[in-house]
């Protein structure tokens, strides 16, 4: 499982692994993300950082909730522990110097999208590897919501946001976008950062 992710990252700037999260964990995280939404705890996602931060729904339309290790549920702790195992394996094999993780739930309402972008801020280059775990049960191609990757000198790659699938890519090097979906789209999105 982790070996295959590491092997993909050794030869290209991205990796996709279906069934990375067990179905029980994916559905528990999905219900926690959905209850954050229901209770008004999601905030509109922005672009930029610090004084450059802006909320612009013509660029991205998701709502987010930052995970906090201090006050994580058992399912969130399980997710964070899996991320830690992945971080250590990637560091061991690829020497990316990944130091920590920041992660949030993201919920895109039907019709929302995130235009083509890179995951680094102008004044903060710590984000190194973007890691997204999708939480959507019974997602079909017709539901849309693909993550579209634009690797340099390669064909674009579309990833369906199916429950349990992990997608990761080099934050500063790979342009990507989120296509609109016909139903709400849930994920837990993280960034492994360098110091």
Site residues (CB under 5 A) for Mn ion? 119
Least CB distance from residue 115 to ligand OGA, whole Å?
A: 10
Angle between helices 74-94 and 2-11 (to 10 degrees): 50
| Nearer of residues 34 and 177 to Mn ion, judged by Cβ | 177
Task: Calculate the CA dihedral of residues 164, 194, 120, 16 and round it to 10 degrees.
Answer: -30
Q: Does 33 bind ligand OGA (CB under 6 A)?
A: no
Report the candidate in 110, 108, 159 with the shortest Cα–Cα distance to residue 130.
Answer: 159
Q: Does 166 bind ligand OGA (CB under 6 A)?
A: no
Q: 166: exposed, middle or buried (C-beta count within 10 Å: 0-12, 13-18, 19+)? A: buried
Q: Which of 189, 190, 192, 193 binds ligand OGA (CB under 6 A)?
A: 189
Alpha-carbon gap, residue 26 to 133, rounded angstroms = 8
The option from ligand OGA, Mn ion, none interacting with 178 (CB < 5 to 8 A, set by class) reads ligand OGA
Q: Does 162 bind ligand OGA (CB under 6 A)?
A: no
* Residues of span 95-114 touching ligand OGA by CB under 6 A: 106, 114
Q: Which of 21, 75, 131, 147 binds ligand OGA (CB under 6 A)?
A: 147
* Helix, coil or strand: residue 140: coil
Q: Does 171 bind ligand OGA (CB under 6 A)?
A: no
From residue 52, give the alpha-carbon distance in Å to each of 32, 46, 83. Answer: 30, 10, 29
| Nearer of residues 32 and 119 to ligand OGA, judged by Cβ | 119
The option from ligand OGA, Mn ion, none interacting with 168 (CB < 5 to 8 A, set by class) reads none
Q: Which of 79, 165, 187, 192 binds ligand OGA (CB under 6 A)?
A: 187
The option from Mn ion, ligand OGA, none interacting with 15 (CB < 5 to 8 A, set by class) reads none
Report yes or no: 90 and 9 within 8 Å, Cβ to Cβ: yes
Annotate 4-29 with b (16+ C-beta within 10 A) or e (fewer): ebbebbeebbbbbbeebbeeebbbbb
Binding site for ligand OGA (CB under 6 A): 106, 114, 119, 132, 147, 176, 178, 187, 189
């Amino acid at each position: 499982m982790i070996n295959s992710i590491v092997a993909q990252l050794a030869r290209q700037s991205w990796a996709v692994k279906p069934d990375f999260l067990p179905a029980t964990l994916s559905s528990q995280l999905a219900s926690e993300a959905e209850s954050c939404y229901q209770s008004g705890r999601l905030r509109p996602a922005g672009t930029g950082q610090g004084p450059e931060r802006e909320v612009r729904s013509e660029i991205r339309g998701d709502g987010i909730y930052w995970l906090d290790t201090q006050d994580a549920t058992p399912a969130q702790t399980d997710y964070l522990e899996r991320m830690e195992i992945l971080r250590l394996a990637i560091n061991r094999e690829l020497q990316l110097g990944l130091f920590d993780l920041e992660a949030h739930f993201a919920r895109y309402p039907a019709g929302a999208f995130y235009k083509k972008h890179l995951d680094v801020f102008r004044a903060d280059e710590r984000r190194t590897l973007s890691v997204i775990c999708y939480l959507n049960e019974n997602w079909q191609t017709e539901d849309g919501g693909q993550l579209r990757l634009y690797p340099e000198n390669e064909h674009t790659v579309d990833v369906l946001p199916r429950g349990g699938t992990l997608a990761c890519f080099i934050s500063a090097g790979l342009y990507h976008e989120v296509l609109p979906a016909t139903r709400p789209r849930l994920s837990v999105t993280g960034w492994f950062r360098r110091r």
